[in-house]
Amino acid sequence: MKKIWILFVLMFLPFRVWAIELNNLLSPTVLLYDPGKEEIMYEKGSDDVINIASLTKIMTTIVAIENIPKLDDKVLITDSMLAEIPSDASVAGLKVGDEVSYLDLLYASILPSGADATTALAYSIAGSTEGFVNLMNEKAQSLGLENTHFANVTGYDIDNHHSTAKEILKILLYALDNDLFNTIYRTKEYTLSNGLVVKTTLDYYNPSGMYDLSKIVGSKTGYTDNAGLCMASIIDIDGKGLILITLGAKRDLTSPDNIDDALSVISYINQNYKNVVLFEKGAAFLELPVKYSNINTYEVKASEDITYFTDDYDNTNIKYHFDGVDDLSFKNKKGDKIGTVNITYQGETFKEDVYLDSDIKISIVKYLFTSPICIIIYSAIVILLILGVYALKKRKHHHKHIVLAE
């Protein structure tokens, strides 16, 4: 059910755009996206249909994950698997006769961008690269991608192999929803079961460590003559994960444009944006009256920090509304959902479900003196007593008249 919903959302993904200026970027195609707000922060050329190089392997890997029988099953690397890989393609270093797991091949596909790993996945899952490419194109259609078509599993330049930055974003968002893919995408180094160590291609672009790439917490890079330098990355800014996709940059390994662009974006966002806390964890939204207990009120509090990523913060614009129970009593138990707080800021609404964090203990005294049932009982008793007294007086009065008559 979850995957069906995600597919529906991706097919009609709303692309609202922020107005920020990034005039010094070198890549002709750029897309900066905020997954939390489902908004594009910046774009240029994001609808252009172009070659995408090894960003192809994002689709290769997620399709493989969804078709692998068992992750720890072994795959024997054969000559036929490696024979079709071009001599200048990036590889993980697998050799004929190596026996590795499917999980190994997934890491080897993303981290070092191994064409040997993606081809091995294609052969072992679909019997051929052609059969696996069909699976990739079927997935593209199911995601509603109109300008994406795959002709191989590696991204090597070939006719009819293309996509757009916006459609790569949709593929990546879909893939990142898979826990295994998400973990692999954020991994920098991994040791395969045959002892081979694979590392992120970021190391290739940063061999001397001159760049501070610590803010890039997940990535897939690529390069071909037609596609230029490409990268799809997750960048972390003050705990906020943004997705940056750049395509078509010029190749300059002494100062790679895709890395320079990522650092420019990181610098700009760091200087102009911040995660502000709209409500701190433990801050009270409101108080609910409590009946039949020694406590008179219960504070509805934020269970975690509620944050907003912005360049223009004004706390006077924060509004909230509680939609839930009117009061509480001993009938409400710890863990019960008692309502939802809706926090609105700058036209966006954040919802937080509220659960009772402790049992409410009954006060027998308050219950006996304030409970409607008890009040009804007391009233009935009083009425009965009054009627009884009245009846007794009437009987005595009647008895007195009888005595006088004798």
Q: Does a structural domain hold residue 365? A: no
Element (H, E) at 274: strand 274-279
**Bigger pLDDT: 193 or 10?**
193
pTM above 0.85, yes or no: no
Sequence-distant (6+) residues with CB within 8 A of 118 are 57, 60, 61, 64, 105, 109, 153, 154
CATH number for the domain harbouring residue 254: 3.40.710.10
pLDDT, one tens digit per residue, over 168-183 is: 999 999 999 999 999 9
Residues 219 and 159 in one domain: yes
**Bigger pLDDT: 145 or 278?**
145
Backbone angles phi, psi at 69, to 5 degrees: -70, -55
Residues 69 and 189 in one domain: yes
pLDDT of 155 higher than 80: yes
Residues 248 and 347 in one domain: no
Residue corresponding to tokens 């007593």: 385
Q: Give me the number of domains the chain comprises.
A: 3
Grade residue 295 by pLDDT with cuts at 50, 70 and 90.
confident
Residue 118 amino acid letter? T
Which range of residues forms the domain containing residue 320? 277-355
Residues 236 and 334 in one domain: no
Sequence-distant (6+) residues with CB within 8 A of 353 are 337, 339, 340
pLDDT, one tens digit per residue, over 253-269 is: 667 899 999 999 999 99
Domain boundary (355, 381, 397) is at 355
Pairing of strands 39-44, 16-17: parallel
**Residue 66 in 3-state DSSP?**
helix
Q: Does a structural domain hold residue 361? A: no
